[in-house]
């Protein structure tokens, strides 16, 4: 199987959006229905400074098949990008107070991000039809190779996602801290080069 890991480019496909939404689970359901998420992600991808901006997305493909998606950005830009996300969402929903209330609960699940240089791996998702075939490892290897540097990588993973936690540990990520109430685990990889 010939694999190609590249920046997303300017074409957004429903496969990429669905893969990102799937990676955003289980927390996504706290904030939006699946249909709302489709509209929101499709919009956020077009906003240059959002966390989901096209320039932050890389895709792993084999021919016409989407194997997986990574979404990453400089750690120092995460907070600003998330604020852009929130403002964009608020512009496009009617129940602003309800969303802000849900967002407040959602944000309590995470630790503050460290104030240091690094890459924040926001999402890593393998398309459903390619799961269980080692593609998560391949996708992570391609991500690390693509960034080719010695700066740390940070990520957060839901504590119930044992498969992802095991993948990250095999890729030399260490648990940094767990959030209170303990829903998400922060992990860090010090070196990107093998």
* Residue 41 near residue 52 (C-beta atoms within 8 A): yes
Better pLDDT: 25 or 90: 90
pLDDT tens sequence across 1-35: 788 898 887 666 778 888 887 777 666 666 777 78
* pLDDT value, residue 121: 93
In angstroms, rounded to a whole number, what is the distance separating the alpha carbons of residues 16 and 8? 9
pLDDT tens sequence across 157-191: 888 889 899 999 999 999 886 556 567 888 999 86
pLDDT tens sequence across 37-87: 778 888 888 888 888 888 889 999 998 899 999 999 998 888 888 888 888
CA dihedral 125, 155, 75, 56 (to 10 degrees): 0
Count of beta carbons in the 10 Å neighbourhood of residue 86: 14
Cβ within 8 Å of residue 61, ≥6 positions away: 3, 4, 6, 67
Domain boundary assignment for the chain: 4-189
Q: 């496909």: which residue's tokens?
A: 13
Cis peptide before 26 (omega within 30 of 0): yes
In angstroms, rounded to a whole number, what is the distance separating the alpha carbons of residues 170 and 54? 28
In angstroms, rounded to a whole number, what is the distance separating the alpha carbons of residues 44 and 84? 9
* Residue 130 near residue 69 (C-beta atoms within 8 A): no
CATH of 4-189, one of 3.40.630.30, 3.40.50.620, 3.30.930.10, 1.10.3720.10: 3.40.630.30
Does position 194 have pLDDT exceeding 50, yes or no? no
Does position 134 have pLDDT exceeding 90, yes or no? yes
* pLDDT value, residue 96: 85
Does position 192 have pLDDT exceeding 60, yes or no? no
Better pLDDT: 62 or 107: 62
Count of beta carbons in the 10 Å neighbourhood of residue 118: 20
* pLDDT value, residue 126: 93
């Amino acid at each position: 199987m010939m694999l190609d890991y590249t920046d997303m480019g300017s074409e957004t496909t429903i496969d990429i959006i669905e893969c990102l939404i799937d990676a955003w689970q289980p927390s996504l359901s706290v904030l939006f229905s699946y249909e709302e998420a489709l509209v929101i992600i499709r919009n956020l991808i077009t906003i240059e400074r959002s966390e989901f901006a096209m320039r932050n997305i890389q895709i792993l493909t084999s021919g016409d098949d989407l194997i997986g998606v990574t979404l990453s950005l400089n750690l120092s830009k995460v907070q600003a990008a998330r604020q852009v996300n929130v403002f964009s969402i608020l512009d496009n929903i009617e129940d602003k107070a309800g969303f802000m209330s849900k967002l407040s609960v959602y944000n309590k699940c995470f630790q503050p991000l460290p104030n240091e240089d690094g890459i924040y791996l926001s999402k890593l998702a393998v398309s459903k039809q390619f799961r269980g075939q080692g593609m998560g490892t391949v996708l992570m290897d391609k991500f690390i190779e693509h960034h080719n540097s010695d700066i740390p990588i940070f990520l957060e993973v839901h504590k119930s996602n044992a498969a992802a936690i095991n993948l990250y540990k095999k890729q030399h990520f260490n648990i940094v801290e767990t959030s209170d109430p303990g829903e998400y685990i922060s992990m860090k990889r010090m070196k990107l080069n093998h």
